[in-house]
Amino acid sequence: MKGVAERSETAADPRPSRNPLTRVIDSFWNPTPASLRLLALLGVIGNALIVATGGAVRVTKSGLGCPDWPRCTGDSLVPTHNPAHSATNMAIEFGNRMLTFVVLAIGVLVFVAALRLVPRRKDLVRWALAQPMSVVAQAVIGGIVVLSKLHPAAVALHFLISPALLIFCVGLYERSGEGDTAPKRIVRPLLRRISGLLAVAAAVVLVAGTVVTGTGPHAGDDKARRWGFAIEDVTRVHSGLAWLTVGLTVLALIVAFRTGAPAVYRRRVLTLVGLEVAQGALGYIQYFMGVPGPLVVLHMLGSVLVWITALRILFATRDRGPMPAAETIAPAASSRTAPQPA
């Protein structure tokens, strides 16, 4: 109990250290509900960025910039001179690998913070534990992508791990900002069902997008295998599913306003409408421009933002009370402060 008391006293100290390093360490070693939520937000941002950098690897043909795994090339963990690969391609691919370690580090810190939070909230620990474990799985699948010479099925699975991991990242972010009371439904049953269908539709659009990417020109390397589908056909399927998602979003918005759904729910649906309009415009522009690389990266990032918002809409259908305050435990009296006998 002494260790818990000392940790709680430090976490509850109203005078945070001015030393930036100390404050960073305290954010996960002596966490508060607010610092845990900030770490969870960093996890969301990191996983969104890794999708964008993965897209940059593809459009710059850097998928085999590091032709080996787990080493970059030969016996070296870092890029070295290789006549078969340019220094730029190697740097881009190696940079994407390094970002994976950053995301893993954030996942580990999130898990440590969830373990040391006082009082400990078991569901937050479970949400947090999934993050480092999922990143490790992503790294292993990344190795399969390299060893399979960028097979489109392996590349698609590698991409889809990030949206799957974002379920835990967004879940932890949302749960760490609310209480532990029994969930109270705050929207009509019809709106809950529409929200669930919306999340499913967004997930299907992501899967269809990997087929389009696996069929299109951006394979990550000139020699990489592609799917044998007609790009026009898979693009139409992807576009149709995207329009279905837009339709469900508009329906959710109409029902939300007609049934008096909470403001937080309406705001998130409106945000999703804006993202979908931008994403749709970007998709058509890149199609008619011949799928230029920079627009592909923006489109991939946009798809992840749509997914994150769809997940947040699900969490806005119920309320679990306010975020609990950090528990404060009075420190035990020490021998230096205890009264001494006369």
What pLDDT is stored for residue 117 in this prediction?
Answer: 93
pLDDT digits (tens, 9 = 90+) for 76-117: 888 887 777 788 888 888 888 888 889 999 999 999 999 999
Statement: residue 266 has pLDDT above 80:
yes
Question: In a 10 Å sphere around its CB, with 0-12 CB exposed, 13-18 middle and 19+ buried, how is residue 183 labelled?
Answer: exposed
Measured in degrees and rounded to the nearest 5, phi and psi for residue 37 equal -65, -35
Q: Whole-angstrom Cα distance, residue 174 to residue 168? A: 10
pLDDT digits (tens, 9 = 90+) for 112-122: 999 999 989 99
pLDDT digits (tens, 9 = 90+) for 172-196: 999 999 999 999 999 999 999 999 9
What pLDDT is stored for residue 283 in this prediction?
Answer: 85
Cα–Cα separations (whole angstroms), residue 25 to 228, 252, 305: 51, 42, 30
> Using an 8 Å Cβ cutoff, are 272 and 27 in contact?
no
Question: In a 10 Å sphere around its CB, with 0-12 CB exposed, 13-18 middle and 19+ buried, how is residue 133 labelled?
Answer: middle
Looking at the chain, the whole-number percentage of residues with pLDDT higher than 70 is: 89
What pLDDT is stored for residue 9 in this prediction?
Answer: 44
- Cα 241 from chain centroid? 22
Q: Whole-angstrom Cα distance, residue 179 to residue 265? A: 18
Residue with tokens 């529409």: 194
